[in-house]
Structure 1
Amino acid sequence: MGWFRRKPARDTGDEKPAAGHERPPLIDRANEADAIRQALYLAGFHPHQEKSGGRVRAGYRVEDVGLGPTFLVRHSGNADEERLHEERSYMAALAALGYVVEPVTDESAGGLRVWPLGQRPALPVIDPRELVNEWLRSLTIIGEGKSIDETLALIASVNRTGTHAVPIRTPLPPDDARALESVLAWNNEIRSRQAGVNLLVEQLLIRWLAEATGQTWNQVVQRLALGIEELLPPEQPTNS
């Protein structure tokens, strides 16, 4: 019987490392940054290079500067128009490969925030107390007696009115579909909790109003319905 050397198992990347042999987080971060650099290079862009004699070739730079899980991608050119053009091109190329990319809102920094491949921005945590505070701030502004437009503008200025972007590709890949489902579920949860807060506050206000006026709950609600009816514009006739 002949002896033979067993071939090592092919590393597919799916096997869980043995205890004590996990990669340190810094190695993972370095690999994630290198993956972004490689993606930009294969897309036809050139990296920033410092050559002999003090010469510099402008190009992309991928840096880990403490932006949470994201990396900062910038073009090293000095001209603003060139930098913005190149960074828009970086964004399009990375997004086409499945990266989530957002412009940095801090004008002094500029550049792009890029999440590692397969990662997305975390959805904001829903704080029930903040929902209550938003409702109370809205009630306070409503009581100031301003016009509808001024009231809505004031409410928007003191309460959060931000949006949550969900970059998706076509045809819709499974990870984008899961991200879309998560955002829709989060949005439904926000709306459900806001409705619960509204009902809680309305219940207390109607109860206190009924106690203060000596009216029944139904009488207060009926008067409220009539008051709202007077504030609403008249119904438009439907064309038969």
Structure 2
Amino acid sequence: MNKIALITGATAGIGRATARALAANGFDLILTGRRKDRLDELETEIKKTSNCRVITLNFDIRNLDETTQAYNALPEEWKAVDVLINNAGLAVGMEPIQEGFVDDWERMIDTNVKGLLYITRLVSPQMVKQGSGHIVNISSIAGKEAYAKGNVYCATKHAVQALTQGMRIDLLQHGIKVSSVAPGAVETEFSVVRFKGDNDKADGVYKGFTPLFAEDIAETILFIVTRPPHVNIDDVLIMPTAQAFTRQFHREE
């Protein structure tokens, strides 16, 4: 019987690439996201290209009631989640702290921290009951360093790193693995969202060097969740060759 993986934020970028990678390697999937049309498209694609089973859940992870209702509506057999990939996350805006927008701050905190907590609180008790499971939290280089105008986003990803360590300690006695994946610059919708639809600004982020791609991170996640039972990959920092720190790149002219 296939293992069941629940992926949040599966409608684009790392989440979508991870869904494809896990499907190709024999996982059944619960895919969640806010954009139902994209969820439906991904479900159709995966069912055509693999033999895995797929269920989609359309809800906003920032909303505890929606998240709870969606999870509780799963058939009982699907609640036995083996792998939870907390991928849903975003950055919004790049203002210094004294000029920041509270709405942007709340959107990042509600998605990156509270949403991760909501779904983990729902899924982890069943893992404890099973005596096994694996939680993979998608962090960022911003969870290990801070940078100018990244204030609240960096704070949320530092929180993800701390939560990963705390989960690992709390769930250790129950045989549950917990891992963090912290990417550097990945070319997805990330910068388009951060700059609120300004594609020129978003394109400029990746100008002059080859960034990571969603598939690179998906391959890393696949490696992590397919290790033998006695092996846990605690923390991975994965960077483009052209990036040394959050704001240090080698760009070709």
**TM-score where L is the length of structure 2:** 0.23
- The structure showing larger relative contact order (alpha-carbon pairs under 8 Å, at least 6 residues apart) is 2
Bigger Rg, which one: 1
**TM-score where L is the length of structure 1:** 0.24
- Greater fraction strand: 2
